[in-house]
A and B are shown apart, each in its own frame.
Chain A
Amino acid sequence: SLRDTVPRGDCETVCPNTPCFSEVAYSQSTGQKEQLSRCLQRGIRRVQDLCKVLQLPTVFEETAVSYVQRALQHPSFHLVSLEKKELLGGCCVFVTCRQHNWPLTMGTICSLLYAKQELFASVYLSLQKELELSVPALSLADLVKTHLNSFRLFQHAADIPAPFVENKEKVVARTMQIVELASETWLVTGRHPVPIVTAAAFLSWQSLQPATRLACTLARFCKLARVDLPPPAHLRLKELLEILLRMASQLAWLRVFNLDKKTVVKHIGDLLQHRIFLLKSAFCPEDEEEQQCAAAPGEASPGSAAGAVQGGGCPSAGKRRPLLPPCLVNPRKRLRTAAPSASDSAVTGEEPISDGEIEQYLRGPEEIRAFRKAQACAAAPSTLPTPCLATCCI
């Protein structure tokens, strides 16, 4: 523009009566704003597309768009890479959903955006920090409903054996109870939510018709349901079964059966029905040591589950173990850094440093020569005859 090229001195001759224009960088007058509005347009369009695909209420779109606007105007997002800016729209939709307790997982958004989860995670965390957004935790109850929607076992189909088809409401209700149980027994805190739901859905489905379904594995179940099997789901399943077995040990009339991981599934209904009591009897408070309660065998006969449940004061079967997160029950052996010793604490930072100590880190002239030679060999092995490699490379 003329503004940029006309030197200040000539201003007066060109336009003597008007104020002199000051030189301004292009980016400050036009360029920056143009780029910003292009980014903003792209961001808004992305938000709109996502809201349409996810079939979100209209108010979500308005909120997400306002977040995108705020984010792009924030100095920390001005200069991030285009790759990151692409994800901002998705992040804003994700935050909006969470704030409305709409159970959208990061996995879902990432797959919709074809985004790497690490990159999405970093943009999301920055967004949360810079805009000071408070994002409530994912509601597991809502996640169960949404996740089970994608399962394919609620309607008859050619490739699904008839006994495998199940009533959706029943599965949802029981899965919710199992997920709640998992939450109460520390299986949920700090873990990925979806594998827990998958494992719980499997157990719930199995327990509704154990006769025909006990033989079906978790992997086959997911395949039939056309659902991904996330790797942690196997571990979550194992942990759930352990909890259920402990609970079963508190039902006098079940102790006779010597239940194992397979057979306990048949009794999940009963266990869930009495879970509050069973958890209390099976597990002592976290801070108590494992206790071996004095035996007072339950008087109930098999069949009168109610009697057994109310009868027992102190369970006799098995020791009560503290109800703790698995990471505390099975701690992985880790190198504990020793507490600083007295000599460590006495370090002042101003200690004398001996020459000898420093010299141990320096190469002698011979060593430098040898190292140089080795470097040359390594750099261009093809140009040197093979005998060289034998002599200089130690």
Chain B
Amino acid sequence: MSPYDVDFPIQTTEDVLFGSQFNQPKELPTDFSSVDLSFLPDITQENKAQNLFEDGHEMQKELDGSTSNEDSSILTDESILAYPDATQATPEASGGCPPLTPIAPMTPVTPASESSGIVPQLQNIVSTVNLACKLDLKNIALRARNAEYNPKRFAAVIMRIREPRTTALIFSSGKMVCTGAKSEEQSRLAARKYARVVQKLGFPAKFLDFKIQNMVGSCDVMFPIRLEGLVLTHQQFSSYEPELFPGLIYRMVKPRIVLLIFVSGKVVLTGAKERSEIYEAFESIYPILKGFKKAS
């Protein structure tokens, strides 16, 4: 019984989903959204599409036929509701294999080419997870190679792994912060690896309430910006203090994102919980910045 099973009651559905494709019954996630997504592959894996669609059918039958509480809780899981395609795929509706598109697109939904043509690149993701057990930090620092612990300086173990290249802060309460990943999925994978390290050190670590807390992106508009002008016209959102910092701090209200805008045209966006907020914020600021492209 894998440690992740504790919060994920349905065993049979997992076997259906993973058995045919991944062959890794041990690696079970706790929140159902990722299990949901797994049967919809990348478009490139055409040969697997047929198999997975069949698996999808079976899963659909399980969901439809089941009357247990656990199933209904899965159906009401908000992550499923966010991706209606997952539950609506029925064998009757389509003739043959329908085009399977990835549920979690890597690029923004609104095609960037319609507006700025520039897509901000994610630079850092900060996430938290609850390992739900008390940890002996001194013990962890002794027995793990990749850990550093200076209680006088900071009350947490600083652990690093090479792939995905990230850093984790592990607290004695069992709470953990994971930083440095370049995507939400990489952050999740990294957090799982840290949890496994802690497990292998003998602690009954779980993987509860994984949450992306902050996302940082950056891009370049490719023209210099008159920050003095921008702070004049957008005073209520901007803070430009060259005595303190060379960039202009723009606090966007919708979405609630903070942008650092530099004279070179480089922009940093932070404060997002979802990557769509970063894309949306950039598309909002781009026309404003273009207005300051000095025509000399």
Contact = CB atoms under 8 A, between A and B. Distances in A.
B268 to A, nearest CB: 13
Interface in B197-244: 197, 200-201, 223-228, 231-232, 235-236, 239-244
B212 to A, nearest CB: 11
Contact of A186 (B164, B201, B263): B263
A163 B126 CA distance: 62
B227 to A, nearest CB: 5
Interface string B129-165: 0000000000000111110000000000000010010
A359 B227 contact: no
Interface of A: 105-107, 117, 121, 124-125, 128-129, 132, 134-138, 183, 186, 188-193, 279-280, 283, 285-287, 323-325, 327-328, 337, 339-340, 344-353, 355, 357-363, 367-368, 371-372
A190 B262 contact: yes
B243 A350 contact: no
A360 B162 CA distance: 11
Contact of A137 (B37, B201, B228): B228
A2 B84 CA distance: 64
B183 A344 contact: yes
Contact of B145 (A117, A129, A363): A363
A184 to B, nearest CB: 9
26 contacts: A106-B244, A124-B241, A125-B244, A136-B231, A136-B232, A186-B263, A189-B224, A189-B228, A190-B246, A286-B293, A286-B294, A286-B296, A325-B264, A328-B224, A337-B123, A340-B122, A345-B106, A347-B183, A348-B38, A350-B34, A350-B188, A352-B26, A353-B189, A353-B192, A358-B197, A362-B197
A327 B264 contact: yes
Interface in B243-258: 243-244, 246-247, 249, 251
A190 B106 contact: no
Contact of A192 (B144, B243, B265): B243
A359 B200 contact: yes
B236 A134 contact: yes
A353 B26 CA distance: 10
B29 A347 contact: no
A-B pairs, top 9 by smallest CB distance, nearest first, are: A349-B188, A190-B246, A349-B185, A134-B235, A189-B263, A352-B24, A190-B263, A347-B185, A345-B106
A363 B143 CA distance: 5
B135 to A, nearest CB: 15
Contact of A325 (B42, B146, B161, B224): B224
B263 A283 contact: no
Contact of B121 (A105, A286, A339): A339
B224 A349 contact: no
B184 A361 contact: no
Interface residues of B, number: 63
A121 B241 CA distance: 10
B142 A372 contact: yes
A359 B146 CA distance: 11
Interface in B261-296: 262-265, 293-296
Given A191-B242, A353-B189, 6 more contacts: A190-B263, A285-B296, A327-B263, A350-B34, A351-B27, A359-B200
A346 B200 CA distance: 27
B105 to A, nearest CB: 10
Contacts of A124: 241, 244
A156 to B, nearest CB: 34
B128 interface: no
A114 B62 CA distance: 71
Contacts of B236: 132, 134
B186 interface: yes
A211 to B, nearest CB: 35
Contacts of A351: 27, 189
Contacts of A368: 142-143
A188 B247 CA distance: 12
B179 interface: no
Interface string B85-103: 0000000000000000000
Contact of A287 (B106, B144, B182, B223): B223
Contacts of B193: 353, 357-358
B52 to A, nearest CB: 14
Given A134-B235, A136-B235, A362 B200 contact: yes
A138 B142 CA distance: 54
Contacts of B182: 337, 340, 344
Contact of A352 (B27, B106, B247, B294): B27
B187 A349 contact: yes
Contacts of A125: 239, 241, 244, 249
A193 B295 CA distance: 24
Contacts of A355: 200
A325 B231 CA distance: 18
B196 interface: yes
A349 B184 contact: yes
Contacts of B106: 340, 345
A346 B42 contact: yes
A21 B129 CA distance: 46
A128 B241 CA distance: 11
A212 to B, nearest CB: 34
Given A327-B264, A345-B106, A363-B143, A286 B185 contact: no
A104 to B, nearest CB: 11
Contacts of B226: 189
A348 B34 contact: yes
A285 B240 CA distance: 25
A112 to B, nearest CB: 15
